[in-house]
Structure 1
Amino acid sequence: MSLIIDVQQVTKQYGDKTVLNKVEFSLEKGAPVALVGPNGAGKTTLFSLLCGYIQPSSGNISILGHVPGNSALFGRLSALPQDAQLDPRFTIAMQLNFYARLQGMSNKFAKKDTARVLDMVALSDVVNSLPSELSHGMRKRATIAQALLGSPEIVMLDEATAGLDPANAKEIRAIVSEHASEVNFILSSHDLSELERLCDQVLYLDNGQLKQHKTLGNNDSAGFLTLRMKQHYSEIMPAILQIPGVSQVSMTQDKEYLLTISNEQGKLAIEMDLLTVLASNNWSYAQLINGKTLENQLF
């Protein structure tokens, strides 16, 4: 594996306000990485530092072996802000061609690359449409196509599915999943279940500090099952505790239960017994997850 991002003791201050405080982490080439944290945690500031839009007050950042903003990174890293907008006066193809030309492509290659990225996001049939003629989800996919121009090695997406209906959010997730082998995605989102499906690592920022940097699905989740129910049943916890191999059950939030498993090797049998208990009591469940949810791993 090769190192793509190295952040060492990075602090960012605006006057007396410290937005990031001695943040330190390294990322290697691989599956998408999640950047999570409450509003005001410093996520946007970190994205801006990685892109070279602003400079750290102290500390060092290396992107693909270069300082952020270095001309050597031109076309190798891209970022899509949450509020990215398309110009309403020009067609999708015209705008993407223009941005491709800004990257130094010839007119011929810009048109070819525009066609390539629009095909990647399943928008080949709207190349001559104005943004106003597209749905919100389609416009979001068009902005992601812009971020993919030139085949960058690192793409940072800030709240890429915010405000989208489930069908369009699924389309965005499919784009990331399909191209994750060629592109190193860094995803910022408040939707933890979405990040859990896409990412192998998570960076958790809070109040300007990196509280956790962890690999998902590691030993923290071994020996656990998470059960999400469609409605509340008062007798469900005692019934689950009767299943051999379940040593503890706790309610992590409304209609969600964390089962502690005493025998990891027998987890499959425990899952089958659990489903049998649910079926015999006519209890409807929404999801059974192997391990802890991302929310429970972080909090």
Structure 2
Amino acid sequence: MSLIKCDSLSKSYGSKLALDSVSIELKAGAPVALVGPNGAGKTTLFSLLCGYLLPSAGSVTIMGEKPGSTKLLGQVASLPQDATLDPNLSLLTQFTLFGTLQGLSTKQAKAESLRVLSLVDLADVAHQKPHSLSHGMSKRASIAQALIGSPKLVLLDEPTAGLDPANAKVIRELVRSLSGNITFVISSHNLDELEKLCDQVLYLDMGKLGQSVSIQENMTDEYLTISMLECEQEQFIAAVEALKGIKSVTRKQENEFSIHYSAEAIRDLEVQLFTLLSQNGWKYRALLKGRTLEDTLFS
């Protein structure tokens, strides 16, 4: 059974079509990225999946049930980008309340609250109110709230927006560690971060599903992406293109190049590249098998 299935799903606000005949079928598993420009329909899609909105046309099911069904209670959680916790209640008090709303006893809800706060290293501030927490701690607390009851599907909207690198890393590691039991759908503009966490990437634009990309499948034997520290760009491109089996070398941005080659004609490209770099005194920052997510979506 599919975790999420959308069939020609559409949503209109008056004359504005926010989501236009989107068809998606997702299985449980690795985190899924949802990307697209502002106004693309990402928040509308999340709202439909949560049952906050009803479709204007088409259909959507989660684990075979309509969003908002009582059968999905505790199975689906969502964290909007600007979600805030109640400033007047301690984390433990409001998390315990959320747990009881999912059908847990007060004792069970308190234990569950401490469990999810421990997941984000906040058990020691369980009795504090949200206003006493830093921005990073508040974001981690909000994510913990979304994990109450061990849902099978969690929708995260910009979970690391505005966070310092240390807190962003904590959240990435948390998502990675829980992905065996929870399927995360993550909406973000940070493509580098999504590339580290997700395999499948859904691209929405103007309400339409433009692409569905598998990052693993994108890591083919026909592309390499290299980021250089020092080199003369035109000389570098000419030198690499002169190697046997190279189809093209394209500069994607400052000192980053995509190399398209024939895997049958050149089987030791990495070795030849390192030799070339050594001969010319060029230094590189990173070498990536395949193409970057940005390159795949927008080239």
User: What is the TM-score of this pair, normalised by structure 1?
Assistant: 0.93
Give how far 1:15 is off.
1.2
Return the letter of the residue paired with 1:107.
Answer: T
Distance 1:179 1:266 in 2: 40
Would the alpha carbon gap of residues 81 and 261 (structure 1) be closer, same or farther in structure 2, given more than 3 Å must change? same
Unaligned runs of 5+ in 1: none
Give how far 1:232 is off.
6.0
Which residues in structure 2 correspond to 1:147-296 (within 5 Å)? 147-218=146-217, 221-230=220-229, 233-234=232-233, 235-263=235-263, 267=267, 269-296=268-295
SS at match of 1:19: strand
SS at match of 1:34: strand
User: Contact between 1:223 and 1:264, CA under 8 Å: does it hold in 2?
Assistant: no
User: Contact between 1:35 and 1:43, CA under 8 Å: does it hold in 2?
Assistant: yes
User: Contact between 1:243 and 1:274, CA under 8 Å: does it hold in 2?
Assistant: no
SS at match of 2:83: coil
Would the alpha carbon gap of residues 88 and 230 (structure 1) be closer, same or farther in structure 2, given more than 3 Å must change? farther
User: Contact between 1:31 and 1:199, CA under 8 Å: does it hold in 2?
Assistant: yes
Would the alpha carbon gap of residues 281 and 126 (structure 1) be closer, same or farther in structure 2, given more than 3 Å must change? farther
Q: Deviations over 1:50-88 (max 9, x none)?
A: 100000101011111101111111110000000011222
Give how far 1:231 is off.
5.5
Q: Which residue number in structure 2 is paired with residue 14 of structure 1? A: 13
Unaligned runs of 5+ in 2: none
SS at match of 1:13: strand
Give how far 1:32 is off.
0.6
Tell me if 1:51 matches 2:40.
Answer: no
Return the letter of the residue paired with 2:79.
Answer: L
Distance 1:278 1:111 in 2: 59
SS at match of 2:8: strand
User: Contact between 2:31 and 2:179, CA under 8 Å: does it hold in 1?
Assistant: yes
Q: Deviations over 1:237-259 (max 9, x none)?
A: 12322444433210112221100
Give how far 1:272 is off.
2.8
Q: Which residue number in structure 2 is paired with residue 34 of structure 1? A: 33
Q: Which residue number in structure 2 is paired with residue 118 of structure 1? A: 117
Would the alpha carbon gap of residues 21 and 148 (structure 1) be closer, same or farther in structure 2, given more than 3 Å must change? same
Distance 2:79 2:221 in 1: 35
Return the letter of the residue paired with 1:186.
Answer: V
Q: Which residue number in structure 1 is paired with residue 67 of structure 2? A: 68
What is the aligned length? 297
Q: Deviations over 1:13-68 (max 9, x none)?
A: 11111111111010011101110000000000000001000001010111111011
User: What is the TM-score of this pair, normalised by structure 2?
Assistant: 0.93
Would the alpha carbon gap of residues 280 and 34 (structure 1) be closer, same or farther in structure 2, given more than 3 Å must change? same
Distance 1:250 1:20 in 2: 34
Report sequence identity in percent: 48
